[in-house]
Structure 1
Amino acid sequence: MNMKFVIVLSAFLVFCAAVELYSTENDHLDIEAVVSDPTTLKAFLDCFNDKGSCDEQMADFKKDIPEVVMENCAKCTKAQKHILKRFLEEIKVKKPDDYQVFKQKYDPQDKNFAALEAAIANS
């Protein structure tokens, strides 16, 4: 085996192992219940957009949103990608103005959101 290949492969494996994921404590969130209940959906949006208070679960999601957007959900679990995908799909349709506020807040220069949505599209 070529020594360069072994070194590159080893470095790649170390890098892959070093990527840590976000905590899975909220992976059980019933996102369908959230997006189907206008009051709950509004509460999440208001928390994320700094228009209302956050409960512990909302605050946990909110703290990661800037990095999630910037890094295209690279540290998200499969469940988190699905939760984010469903949340964005629903607010885009049901709360388009708040969706724009969300996008502007977390991606003010509009550099990352399209890549984020592409990264979670199949989740």
Structure 2
Amino acid sequence: MHCASLVVLLTVIGIAIAQNPYTTKYDNVDVDKILKNDRVLTNYIKCLMDEGPCTPEGRELKKTLPDALESNCSKCNEKQKNTTEKVIRHLMNKRTKDWDRLTKKYDPQGAYKHRYQQETNSA
């Protein structure tokens, strides 16, 4: 009986950990300012592509991006979801080469790219 209780407890802890939302520490970063500044945006892209150094924000993004793509941003708060859509729309429309490079790295089968393209086109 003790072993069964331990298994249940570990399962509950595992589910709680898996559902933890992403940090809100960087929610107040001015994304519009970044998107308007080609040099800064390029530096973030280089960070994500392992071609340059990362800021703390870039490291956090790089760490959470694969999970956020896979889970359809299920751990994102509303602000993070809106910011994600804004950035994706910007990259798709204004930085298509960078969008293609990022999707090749983070979505080589194209599963998430297709889903996000549909979502941003319908928005």
TM normalised by structure 1 equals 0.76
Q: Say how many residue pairs are matched.
A: 106
Q: Indicate the RMSD between aligned Cα atoms, in angstroms.
A: 2.2
Partner of 1:102: 102
Aligned match of 2:89:
89
* TM-score normalised by structure 2 residue count: 0.76
Where has structure 1 moved over 4 Å in runs of 4 or more? none
Cα distance in 1 between the residues matched to 2:112 and 2:71: 8
User: Does residue 47 of structure 2 align to residue 47 of structure 1?
Assistant: yes
Aligned to 1:27: 27
Higher helix share: 2
Q: Percent of pairs identical after alignment?
A: 25
> Per chain length, whose mean CA-contact separation is higher, i.e. which structure has more relative contact order (CA < 8 Å, sep 6+)?
1
Distance of aligned partners of 1:35 and 1:82 in 2 relative to their CA distance in 1, 3 Å threshold:
same
Inter-partner Cα distance in structure 2 for 1:110 and 1:22: 24
**Which structure 1 residue ranges, 5 or more long, are not aligned?**
1-13
